[in-house]
Amino acid sequence: MSQTRKVAGIYKGRPTLEGAGVRLKRVFGYHEAPNFDPFLMLDDFRSDNPEDYLAGFPWHPHRGIETVTYMLEGKVEHGDSLGNSGVIRAGQIQWMTAGSGIVHQEMPKAEKGRMGGLQLWVNLPKSHKMMKPRYRDVLAGDVPLVRPDDGVEVKIISGRMGGVTGPVRDIICDIEYLDVSLAPGKRFEHAVGKGRNAFAYILKGEGAFDPMGGRCLSAEQLAHYEDGERIVVETTEAPLRFLFLSGDPLKEAVAWRGPIVMNTWEELDLAFKEYHDGTFIKG
């Protein structure tokens, strides 16, 4: 029988000020990142108060990482140094590979009075830190929905489940990204490769993420899993929606300051020097 993963730790977002004054919740970041390799950071920027987000994230650089923005409500207006511009709306994903360097801006806006999403940072391995930047938008209608059981729905952003593969492919790190919804009184089992780092972030509702250990979690909590071969999630009287992510750790040195993540401090210093000298964008 496959080994069910236990919950190793529970995290809850801490209020953080980013960009030009955006109030968000950082679920994990710089200090916790070693436990989440290859994931670096997860920010939850959901808010009903325009004062929390309208200042946005004006032009800023990235190098050495991928940023994954998943909008749940409202929209984000985006522009970058590659010449891309557009709007990410509810249910859509922007998967941006900064590689050797990109400068962009992200400006959140409400639609029907609502705005909210999440941004994930994924590290790039040393072999791809200086790859050519690229940008991908995924429309809501392109995200496949599977129903492995009555009352269980899974949107597959990346990875594979039940013979169905998500629309984000050809990615550097083998990342699995699922959006899972369970009705009350349901059970969700999912195989996870041994050795992969894995976590679940609860968007709404509550459920048992370690049924044998009685670890019941609710909205805006994150369950970080121990190693194993599968996860089991159960609901009782309340419905549940959560994101599940897993990935193979890079096990590489990390030099990180602000929006740039490299392998050495020398590479990091060079990146900031090039940004200030105007030689950051490699073409």
The tens digit of pLDDT for each residue in 55-79 reads 999 999 999 999 999 999 999 999 9
Lowest mean pLDDT among 59-63, 132-136, 267-271: 132-136
pTM equals 0.96
Predicted local confidence at residue 56, as pLDDT: 95
Q: What are the sequence ranges of the domains in the chain?
A: 11-141, 143-252
Predicted local confidence at residue 215, as pLDDT: 74
Domain 11-141 shares a fold with domain 143-252: yes
Give the mean pLDDT of 31-51.
Answer: 96
Quote the tokens at residue 15. 């209020």
Identify the burial level of 27 via C-beta atoms within 10 angstroms of its C-beta, where 0-12 means exposed, 13-18 middle and 19 or more buried: buried
Name the percent of the chain lying above pLDDT 90. Answer: 92
Of the candidate CATH numbers 1.10.10.10, 3.40.50.720, 2.60.120.10, 3.40.640.10, the domain formed by 11-141 belongs to 2.60.120.10
- 108 with 54: CB under 8 angstroms? yes
| Topology of the domain comprising 143-252 | Jelly Rolls (2.60.120)
Give the mean pLDDT of 245-265.
Answer: 98
Give the mean pLDDT of 246-270.
Answer: 98
Lowest mean pLDDT among 106-110, 115-119, 197-201, 207-211: 207-211
CA distances (Å), 272 to each of 126, 180, 238, 268, 278, in order? 18, 39, 48, 7, 10
- 8 with 225: CB under 8 angstroms? yes
Quote the tokens at residue 14. 């801490």
282 pLDDT more than 90? no
What mean pLDDT, rounded, does the chain reach? 95
Predicted local confidence at residue 283, as pLDDT: 65
